[in-house]
Amino acid sequence: MDDLLARFREAVGEAHVLVEPDVRAGYELDWTGRFLGTTPAVVRPGSTEEVAAVVQACGAAGVALVPQGGNTGLVGGSVPLAGEVVLSLRRLNGLGPIDELAGQVTVGAGVTLAAVQAHAVASGWAVGIDLAARDSATIGGMVATNAGGLAFLRHGGMRDQLAGVEAVLGDGTVVSHLGGLRKDNTGYDLAALLCGSEGTLGVVTAVRLRLVAPVVERCTALVAVEGVAAALGAVGTLRRAGVVLEAAELFLDDGMQLVCDFLGVARPLAAAPAYLLVEWAGEVEDLGVIDAVDAVVADDAGRRESLWRYREAHTEAVNALGVPHKLDVTLPLPALAAFVADVPGAVAAVAPGSRVVLFGHVADGNIHVNVVGPPADDESVDDAVLRLVVERGGSISAEHGIGTAKKRWLHLARTEAELHAFRSIKRALDPSGILNPNVLVP
Ligand code: FAD
Ligand code: MLT
Ligand code: ZN
């Protein structure tokens, strides 16, 4: 290890090899507090060449590493659970000029989503992806997890925003394809492959992003509805009426109470079984096509932000209850309402007395099942929920990825032939198996 630390210092400079326990601590624990590891060192390269040098040094020493961006991942994939070196990409924070003709920009992997959003807005563009962790989540981490988020309904996930990627593979070679050509049919799509690979195939160092047009006339409404089926019905009605939805988010009444208590704010409308937060490009009158129990509408930035807080603060409010088991899943839309009704019973059967908080990106069929109560290492609740999801035709990960948290259940979602192909790809791009070897691929 002393030799390896010396090689790290040579590659990135003494100041960027962090070995003091109190400095390392923030890199060793995940955002939820459920996954805690330990690392001999956090290495912070400042360029692609430095990343390559660190990866080569780890390869030569046979020491594994965990790439880390903002450490906001929710599946235990960004922390050193088996004593890996942490490779922090946050210093790769360059913002390239906006390509006004193509509507694209090249940014460093360590740039936060909020920084790219501000950069795009300053030039009259917008980024087609958004999440509540925007101030900390990095573009490299979002590529690695193929993040979804609040704008998925309108613009798709991270893979849909990609026009190119630069990365360092497991043997230290750099693959770079950042030209951003719209039509470029020249073989394997490495950007698409690296997207969602969770740091197991390459370390993303730079990303070419597609930008989208900003919404000028934006309305936001928090709508009280009778339940999940009514929320889905309202979304369908709005879409059929030609309303261009930018977002359609769902939460339940116990979540509303939890968030109000957590933030110390009043309810924005009378209690109802569920709430649908919709945002669209258009006018307040467009909402007239749906039957709502009650609704609050915002058409200016300040009121819009306060309505979004009721939805976005769910994650922090759940964490404040205790260490959560976070089960991010998708169901076919016709099965969603019954799943939401049945999941508390499935949890109670294996972990009586647990608190279950459900919310999510309803139009995508994506529900976040949060369970607080079982100890961090007790996986019975994870098992019960994920098996129920698969029984109902859903996916065990909608947008957070597999990480270490769901690796045990990947076989429920992927065939043995697919897993064999995964392992072959892993061996080809990371021959010594040093890139995040304990996540995703069983
Ligand atoms: P990290 O947590 O640092 O890492 C995540 C994974 O990516 C790890 O496996 C890590 O090894 C790998 N990785 C990180 N950087 C690189 C790199 N440069 N190269 C290769 N591998 C890398 N997610 C959603 O999809 N939708 C949401 O709506 C959403 N909302 C959230 C809200 C809150 C409040 C929080 C805390 C999290 C939320 N997340 C959401 C989860 C999280 O923000 C995303 O997974 C995000 O993409 C992680 O980015 P990060 O930079 O923090 O990555
Ligand atoms: C969200 O949609 O708010 C995120 O995915 C975070 C979470 O699941 O808590
Ligand atoms: Zn989400």
Quick check: do 104-212 and 322-417 share a fold? no
Radius of gyration of the chain (CA): 22
Q: Is the pLDDT reported for residue 299 higher than 90?
A: no
Query: What is the number of the ligand 2 atom nearest to the C-alpha of 399?
Result: 5
Query: What is the number of the ligand 2 atom nearest to the C-alpha of 149?
Result: 2
Would you say 12 and 87 are in contact if contact means Cβ atoms under 8 Å apart? Answer: no
138 in contact with ligand 2, CB cutoff 6 A: no
Q: List the beta strands (DSSP E) in 113-243.
A: 126-127, 162-169, 174-177, 202-212, 218-225
In the chain, the percentage of residues whose pLDDT exceeds 70 is 100
CATH class of segment(s) 322-417: alpha beta
| CATH dotted code for 219-315 | 3.30.70.2190
Per-residue pLDDT, averaged over 152-176, amounts to 98
Looking at the CA of 134, name the nearest ligand.
1
Cβ burial 341-356 (10 Å sphere, 16+ → b, else e): eebbebbeebbeebbb
139 in contact with ligand 1, CB cutoff 6 A: no
Per-residue pLDDT, averaged over 91-106, amounts to 98
Question: Any idea which residue has 């394997």 for tokens?
Answer: 188
Ligand 2, atom 2, lies closest to the CA of: 360
- The reported pLDDT for the residue numbered 173 is 98
Q: Per CATH, the architecture of 104-212 is what?
A: 2-Layer Sandwich (3.30)
Query: Which of 30, 32, 72, 74 to probe ligand 2 with, by most ligand atoms within 8 A of CB?
Result: 74
Ligand 1, atom 46, lies closest to the CA of: 142
Question: What pTM did the predictor assign?
Answer: 0.98
Measured CA angle at 93 (ends 308, 44), to 5 deg: 115
400 in contact with ligand 1, CB cutoff 6 A: yes
397 in contact with ligand 2, CB cutoff 6 A: no
Q: Is the pLDDT reported for residue 442 higher than 90?
A: no
Per-residue pLDDT, averaged over 294-320, amounts to 96
Q: Is the pLDDT reported for residue 292 higher than 90?
A: no
Strand partners, 175: 167
328 in contact with ligand 2, CB cutoff 6 A: yes
> What are the tens digits of pLDDT across the range 202-241?
999 999 999 999 998 899 999 999 999 999 999 999 999 9
Question: Where along the chain do its domains lie?
Answer: 2-88, 104-212, 219-315, 322-417
Contacts of 232 (CB under 8 A, 6+ apart): 333, 336, 337, 362, 363
Q: Is the pLDDT reported for residue 174 higher than 90?
A: yes
- The reported pLDDT for the residue numbered 313 is 98
| CATH dotted code for 2-88 | 3.30.43.10
Q: What's the CA-to-centroid distance between 216 and ligand 2, angstroms?
A: 26
> What are the tens digits of pLDDT across the range 327-379?
999 999 999 999 999 999 999 999 999 999 999 999 999 999 999 999 999 99
